[in-house]
Amino acid sequence: MRAEVILGFDPVPGEASGVLAVSETLHKTIRALAEARMGLDSVIRSGSVFEGRSGEPIVSIMLRISRRLLNLEDAVVETRTALELWRTGLDQRQSEVAEIVRAVAESAGQPDAEERRNRLLGQASDLGDQHQRAAADLAAAFETLSARAAETTRADNALVGDLDRALTALELAVEGWIETEGPELIKTAIALGEVAGLTTVISELVGIAALGRVPGEADGVSETIARSPGSHRLIRALRQQWLELAPETLPEATFATSQSAVASIVAGVQPTGSDAGGEEQDTIGSGG
């Protein structure tokens, strides 16, 4: 029985299925925002290669994106909470109105039921007032969401340029580190028995775990590691006695020669990659 027909008006308008659809959409949005944020956070979390002075600006910039995602996510979560409150109230009020509609319909044609009908209509009107107040709260919640979304859309024109500069600075820091630590790096690489190139030294050092060696075999390794702009992972490996970092977790690096051109330059000799010896292209993966 339709309230409009029996009562002359619907005091509690609203489609429950529509509420559910909005709720599911907000849920999908929350999940997407959370996935996006957590993926980004996992790359810059404590212990990542970006930990430390050289990587800190990059972490800071990524956090600017992450915080925007989180702010939006929080706003949607709060709005969905308000929507769920609305849904609960809507169900309850519509159930009560359905009872009133049924009672009013049953009283039709009964000459002595006028007073009862008026009382029921009064109850329906009260429910309508409650409904209007709850709807105003719902509207306010979504208006707040609009405002917080607008905050997110405010341009951060500097971010991309900042990231570019931070990455350039990191590269310079790494180059500076190679220049400073070159001899020690070569010594370390030789000590590991595989001069695969400076660019794999970190992988090699971490991969030492898989080779069953111990850090102390290469003099100065830990000191070199400690000064590296991207040394945290190695420091962590040292602290874990080289046992817990599996080689498959390490990055792969592809090189044209078995002897690194970088290593050769740092060592003061010409790169050997173009030699007739024809070194094969090595793929050095995971330091193993």
Judged by CB under 8 A, the chain residues 25 through 54 that form the site for another protein are 25, 28-29, 32-33, 35-37, 39-40, 42-44, 48-50
- Bridge partners of residue 285, in order along the sequence: 252
Chain centroid to Cα 248, Å, comes to 24
Cα–Cα dist 27/60, whole Å: 28
Residues in 261-280 at the binding interface with another protein, rule: CB under 8 A: 261-262, 265, 271, 273-274, 278-279
To the nearest whole angstrom, how small is the minimum distance from the Cβ of residue 220 to another protein? 18
To the nearest whole angstrom, how small is the minimum distance from the Cβ of residue 207 to another protein? 14
To the nearest whole angstrom, how small is the minimum distance from the Cβ of residue 253 to another protein? 5
Q: For residue 250, give both structure tokens.
A: 């390490």
Cα–Cα dist 288/252, whole Å: 10
Residue 145 sits in the site that holds another protein (CB under 8 A): yes
Given the rule CB under 8 A, which of 91-99, 102-110, 111-119, 153-161 is the region that contacts another protein? 153-161
Residue 149 sits in the site that holds another protein (CB under 8 A): yes
Residue 177's contacts (CB-CB under 8 Å, 6 or more residues apart) are: 227, 228, 229
**For residues 107 and 144, which CB has a smaller minimum distance to another protein in the complex?**
144
**For residues 78 and 215, which CB has a smaller minimum distance to another protein in the complex?**
78
Residue 234 sits in the site that holds another protein (CB under 8 A): no
Residue 75's contacts (CB-CB under 8 Å, 6 or more residues apart) are: 144, 145, 148, 149
Judged by CB under 8 A, how many residues of this single chain contact another protein? 88
Residue 72 sits in the site that holds another protein (CB under 8 A): yes
Residues in 176-215 at the binding interface with another protein, rule: CB under 8 A: 177-178, 197-199, 201-202
Query: Which residue pairs, CB below 8 angstroms and at least 24 apart, start in 184-191?
Result: 184/220, 184/223, 184/224, 185/224, 185/263, 185/266, 186/263, 186/266, 186/267, 187/218, 187/219, 187/220, 188/218, 188/220, 188/221, 188/224, 189/263, 191/217, 191/218, 191/219, 191/221
With CA atoms as reference, report the closest residue to 259 among 249, 267, 250. Answer: 267
To the nearest whole angstrom, how small is the minimum distance from the Cβ of residue 46 to another protein? 14
Residue 155 sits in the site that holds another protein (CB under 8 A): yes
Residue 65 sits in the site that holds another protein (CB under 8 A): yes
Residues in 89-128 at the binding interface with another protein, rule: CB under 8 A: 90
Residues in 5-24 at the binding interface with another protein, rule: CB under 8 A: 13-15, 17-19, 21-22
To the nearest whole angstrom, how small is the minimum distance from the Cβ of residue 106 to another protein? 29
With CA atoms as reference, report the closest residue to 186 among 288, 251, 268. Answer: 268
